[in-house]
Amino acid sequence: MSFTLQINGDKWRTHLSAVTKALTSASGSSPVPVVKGNGYGLGQELLGATAMDLGADTIAVGTVFEIESVVSITQGDIVVLQPFDPRDAAAATKWSEIGKKFYSGRIIRTVASLQALTELVNGAGSVRIILEARSSMLRFGFTESELIGALRNPEIRAALATGRIFVEGMSIHLPIDRNESSETKTPNSHAVEVMRWAGLWERETAVWEVHSPPAPVIWVSHCTDAELATIRDSVSELIVRARVGTRLWLGNRSALSAFGTVLAVHPVSEGVKVGYRQRSAGKNATLIVVSGGTAHGIGLSAPSPTTSLRQRVTSLGVGALDAAGRAMSPFSIGGKQRWFAEPPHQHVSMLWLNNESVLPRVGDQVRAEVRFTTSRFDSVFGV
């Protein structure tokens, strides 16, 4: 009962090398591989080890709870992207535990509010942090005035001077989509936004008379190579570190193939009821049971952005089919994508085949088109 991922190792590694070289050339620094969440479907352990093979000196995880998945198989620094906040009780408890570990000096926290920063300033021990700017995404971060105020705060400066805090730079987490000018229809470059924040960071940290000044580093995400090159040229006194996740790990989808295994083949008569929901079979129907269910991410998806009229119409059509009890599965048999017989179970899915001259056999592999960030595979082959 296996739902598996087959990686074309040569093709995948060639892609990883090309992306790493391109980002290094554009930014002037080695990229920071992101291995958060489910490891983009490939697993955090595999991605952590692969990041080391690529020569990464720093990786990024999503939350404090993900540190221990990668700490033993990686070297160098680990940036936690989810901002530290003492009001998140469960995360604060985990941070306290991490602070007592021998590897705590490798961990860099993201800090996005004055309250969180003040908590660390008044805490025991020393911590490494990155201050996050409130970008156009408007998710987390300091506003410009808040950041200036924090950098000029006497208590915060004293914490840096005494080594209670080490500021490893400023982070700018950007949207994936780019805004368009209504007049020119030309995408506004992320470079402009980054350069504005970088200029502020450079002005506020250039003259720093105390010990352990904030590092001249800008951590960015979702910038193109051209944007990174523009940023690098304009902020020559700063180091640009580009975080990269989807583009690196999933950028060549042809190297990644997901498969379910055929577990049962049942020709059924018209009207026969099947499954948990006892749906009725159609004429000349065959029920196919394949591995891969909700536990693997089958049937789960993120909300569609539906930004265009065409996308909205498509979304309405899919919703109407779902309401009628019909849903297309991600599995293809005989070169055709097949309908679910009913919603997927936890570990298997039931599919309909109709009027087929050639039926699959138990043990056959069935291709599945999946969303990797919501997928979990029983086995990964090819690397």
**H or E segment at 331?**
strand 328-333
Q: Are residues 296 and 335 in the same domain?
A: yes
Single out the residue in 251, 268, 292 at which a domain terminates: 251
Q: Are residues 231 and 284 in the same domain?
A: no
CB-neighbour burial class of residue 111 (10 A; exposed 0-12, middle 13-18, buried 19+): buried
Residues 6+ apart with CB under 8 A from 242: 23, 26, 27, 29, 31, 32, 220, 221, 223, 228
Q: Widest CA span of the chain, in angstroms?
A: 83
Structural domain of residue 314, as residue ranges?
A: 256-381
Residue 38 falls within a domain, yes or no?
yes
Q: Are residues 307 and 368 in the same domain?
A: yes
Q: Are 16 and 54 in contact (CB under 8 A)?
A: yes
| Spatial distance between the Cα atoms of 339 and 281, rounded to a whole number of angstroms | 12
Residue 170 falls within a domain, yes or no?
yes
- In order along its 383 residues, the chain shows pLDDT tens digits of 799 999 999 999 999 999 999 999 999 999 999 999 999 999 999 999 999 999 999 999 999 999 999 999 999 999 999 999 999 999 999 999 999 999 999 999 999 999 999 999 998 789 999 999 999 999 999 999 999 999 999 999 999 988 899 999 999 999 988 765 434 444 467 999 999 999 999 998 887 766 778 999 999 999 999 999 999 999 988 999 999 999 999 999 999 999 999 999 999 988 899 988 898 888 889 999 999 999 999 988 656 554 554 443 333 333 333 433 478 999 999 999 999 999 999 999 999 998 887 899 999 999 999 999 999 999 999 98
Q: Are residues 193 and 269 in the same domain?
A: no
Residue 8 falls within a domain, yes or no?
no
Overall pTM surpassing 0.75 (yes/no): yes
β strands within the chain, DSSP E: 3-7, 32-33, 58-61, 77-84, 107-111, 127-132, 165-172, 217-221, 239-244, 256-268, 273-274, 279-280, 285-291, 328-333, 336-339, 348-354, 365-368, 379-381
Residue 18 falls within a domain, yes or no?
no
| Among the listed residues 72, 25, 71, 76, the one whose alpha carbon sits nearest the alpha carbon of residue 55 | 76
| Spatial distance between the Cα atoms of 152 and 147, rounded to a whole number of angstroms | 9
Only one residue has tokens 């099947």, namely 274
Single out the residue in 185, 216, 251 at which a domain terminates: 251
Q: Are 15 and 8 in contact (CB under 8 A)?
A: no
| Spatial distance between the Cα atoms of 131 and 210, rounded to a whole number of angstroms | 18
Question: How confident is the model at residue 8, as a pLDDT?
Answer: 97
Distances (CA, A) of 224 to 14, 79, 148, 244: 19, 21, 28, 11
Single out the residue in 231, 251, 271 at which a domain terminates: 251
| Spatial distance between the Cα atoms of 381 and 383, rounded to a whole number of angstroms | 6
Question: How confident is the model at residue 321, as a pLDDT?
Answer: 34
Q: How far is CA 311 from the centre of its chain?
A: 23
Q: Are residues 225 and 298 in the same domain?
A: no
Q: Are residues 228 and 357 in the same domain?
A: no
Q: Are residues 154 and 291 in the same domain?
A: no
Q: Are residues 238 and 278 in the same domain?
A: no
Question: How confident is the model at residue 302, as a pLDDT?
Answer: 57
Q: Are residues 42 and 186 in the same domain?
A: yes
Question: How confident is the model at residue 207, as a pLDDT?
Answer: 72
| Among the listed residues 235, 203, 205, 204, the one whose alpha carbon sits nearest the alpha carbon of residue 220 | 235
**What's the total number of domains in the chain?**
2
